[in-house]
Amino acid sequence: MGTVRLATVAAPFDRDLRACYARIERLVQQARDSGADLLALPEAALGGYVADLGGAAPMPPAFHVDGPEIARLAAIAGDLVLTCGYCEQADDGQRYNSAVCVTGDGVLGAYRKVHQPLREGATYRAGNQFEAFDTPVGRIGMQICYDKAFPEAARALALDGAQVIVSMSAWPISATNPHPDPALDRWTRKFDLFDRARAVDNQVVWVASNQYGTFGSLRFAANAKIVDPAGEIVAATGQTESMVTADFDLEAVLTAARAGMGHLRDRRPDSYTPHTDNRIAV
């Protein structure tokens, strides 16, 4: 479809749903005014993240993927492709840390976070699959926060044809010995390294959003960014509440990146047989 403009944000979201929708409306309008075709919002943009990973704090509000809250999100998106994190209420009563991709036509894709850090499992049940899906801007895969630490997660999406992987986060700075400058914090560095590595691993365009500010005991690392298939950061918010954009001809940029050393093409799956005995303590 030629060149598309991708946008991502570092922005704050909390339990005030009215304020969340108002902020989303402003960000969607800002993205539309900038000519963006896709906007990535952070993990838990509808209703906020958990204030306590041990499950002691009140849980975030939960919504059905086919409920009125997600329908309202789709109506706000209109002709824009919008990805957004939220707490999903499943039909079986379980809650998931989830994300949806919507346009005014409805839900294009849905995802439940697979990898759970620390004690996040006290609040959410884990998902169990990674699948890419087609959108007006190209084929997309979604993942959430800690998923980016696992090469297999991004690889599964790339092998399913994802041209763009959207990674939505509520990624904090270190809770122990945080650096006085969040940009130099060790958890911020991990966040950035994972974003760049997963892009170049799979030679895809990587769009990372993140929460901004504080919530409960957490201070977020911000630094939403867009990374090209060579692992180079094309645009980043730094430690500011802001939006950045970047333009790509996805077919052309992926073809060029994979023309020489094609990381997906040159895989040797038969050599990756796991050991029958687990040598890593879990």
CA 119 to chain centre: 20
> Reduced to 3 states, what is the DSSP secondary structure of residue 122?
helix
The pLDDT value given to residue 272: 87
The pLDDT value given to residue 50: 87
The pLDDT value given to residue 157: 98
The pLDDT value given to residue 280: 61
The pLDDT value given to residue 279: 63
The pLDDT value given to residue 177: 87
- Full-model pTM: 0.95
The pLDDT value given to residue 216: 87
CA separation, residue 51 to residues 18, 30, 233, 275 (Å): 19, 29, 30, 39
Beta bridge partners of 282: none
Kindly give the residue spans of alpha helices, DSSP state H, lying in 141-249.
151-159, 186-202
Q: What is the mean pLDDT of each run of 10 residues along the chain (282 residues)?
A: 94 97 98 98 96 74 97 98 98 96 98 93 93 98 98 98 98 91 94 98 98 92 97 98 98 96 94 70 59
Are 104 and 74 in contact, with CB atoms under 8 Å apart? yes
